């Protein structure tokens, strides 16, 4: 994630103090070397997240805090092992009379979830394969509210309110362009299998993640941790197909696309893609995730600079060249 908005708005640039509202993404009571309690936080806002410490913690003086709480903090920015860290000086829970710009606190998708869902749902209804249309729309319809607002991940790509719709929608647009290129040369390519695979590939994120009312993923569910969204998605397809009497071969094809959409075992897929439509879905998923991650981290550096190494991107440093920016006249 990028740099927190909180850290970008110093109360005093000379003192390094910051003040503002943010969300508790994680919190734990720990002990320092002298045995005194302190709170170890991960705090987040729409710009990113930061590790924060509340030293000399006591419930009597400071109260208690939980994941998902909106809090107001004042603190000092320090650097520990080349990473920014916030030393909290004052902290409190959000009050009812606080005026808060939620868009500054919750990272949100640039697309409207409800509008994007309707567009995708209606598009699935145009499939010539009626069984595939019924299966896709049935799975979408049963999870509408979650699909419209859920993030696509706990961390990394599209880990924002509405991120699942953003990720799915951009993947679908890319899929349509690829079909335009390849279909004339390979008429046997089933564009509808590609589209259905894209639409359904992450449907089980709605069960894998625990998401707060703010639309932020706070943890994996027990089933999500034990099974993962790939296996859970296949189960959803198989169950829905049985209820709708979908032909076995079509069910197997859709299930394989979901099973293989991470491309290889090292990334969580128990099977490599074994037909072209599955390959396309897997490749688009990887491309869309990496485009998001790259532009996200590049937004934190100026043109002509390199990012820190990104472990989620093969430990690469990325370069922001600035060539595509429109120059002011």
Greatest C-alpha distance within the chain: 71
- Six token digits for residue 316: 């690469």
Asked if residue 38 is part of any domain, the answer here is: yes
Low-confidence ranges of the chain (pLDDT < 70): 1-4, 6-16, 326-329
Boundary residue ending a domain (75, 105, 135): 105
Q: Are residues 94 and 121 in the same domain?
A: no
For residue 255, what is the enclosing H or E element? helix 248-259
Q: Are residues 15 and 71 in the same domain?
A: yes
Q: Are residues 99 and 130 in the same domain?
A: no
Cβ(126)–Cβ(133) below 8 Å: yes
* Site of tokens 């790259």: 294
Q: Are residues 142 and 47 in the same domain?
A: no
Q: Are residues 41 and 181 in the same domain?
A: no
Number of domains in the chain: 2
End-to-end CA distance of the chain: 32
Secondary structure letter of residue 312 according to DSSP: G
* Domain limits for position 26: 5-105
Other C-beta atoms closer than 10 Å to the C-beta of 313 total 16
Q: Are residues 101 and 121 in the same domain?
A: no
Asked if residue 44 is part of any domain, the answer here is: yes
* Site of tokens 């049985």: 242
Q: What is the CATH number of the domain that holds 18?
A: 2.40.50.140
Q: Are residues 141 and 76 in the same domain?
A: no
- d(CA 195, CA 188) in angstroms, rounded, equals 15
- d(CA 63, CA 65) in angstroms, rounded, equals 7
């Amino acid at each position: 994630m990028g740099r927190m908005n909180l850290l970008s708005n110093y109360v005093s640039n000379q003192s390094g103090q910051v003040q503002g509202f943010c969300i508790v993404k994680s919190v734990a009571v720990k002990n320092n070397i002298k045995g005194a309690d302190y709170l170890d936080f991960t705090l987040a806002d729409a710009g990113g997240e930061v590790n924060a410490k509340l030293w000399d913690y006591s419930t009597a003086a400071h109260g208690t805090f939980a994941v998902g709480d909106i809090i107001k903090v004042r603190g000092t920015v320090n650097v520990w092992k080349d990473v920014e860290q916030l030393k909290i000086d004052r902290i409190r829970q959000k009050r009812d009379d606080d005026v808060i710009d939620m868009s500054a606190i919750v990272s949100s998708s640039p697309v409207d979830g409800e509008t994007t869902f309707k567009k995708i749902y209606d598009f699935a209804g145009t499939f010539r394969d009626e069984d595939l249309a019924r299966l896709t729309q049935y799975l979408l319809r049963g999870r509408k509210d979650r699909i419209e607002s859920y993030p696509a991940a706990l961390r990394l790509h599209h880990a924002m309110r509405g991120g699942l719709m953003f990720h799915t929608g951009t993947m679908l647009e890319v899929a349509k362009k690829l079909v335009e290129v390849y279909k004339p040369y390979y008429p046997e390519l089933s564009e509808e299998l590609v589209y259905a695979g894209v639409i359904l590939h992450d449907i089980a994120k709605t069960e894998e993640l625990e998401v707060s009312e703010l639309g932020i993923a706070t943890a994996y569910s027990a089933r999500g941790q034990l099974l993962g969204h790939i296996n859970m998605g296949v189960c959803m397809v198989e169950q829905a197909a049985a209820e709708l009497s979908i032909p076995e071969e079509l069910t197997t094809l859709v299930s394989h696309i979901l099973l293989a959409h991470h491309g290889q075992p090292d990334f969580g897929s128990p099977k490599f893609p074994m037909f072209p439509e599955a390959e396309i879905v897997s490749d688009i998923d990887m491309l869309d995730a990496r485009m998001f991650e790259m532009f996200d981290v590049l937004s934190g550096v100026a043109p002509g600079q390199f990012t820190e190494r990104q472990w989620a991107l093969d430990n690469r440093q990325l370069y922001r060249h600035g060539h595509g920016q429109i120059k002011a006249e």
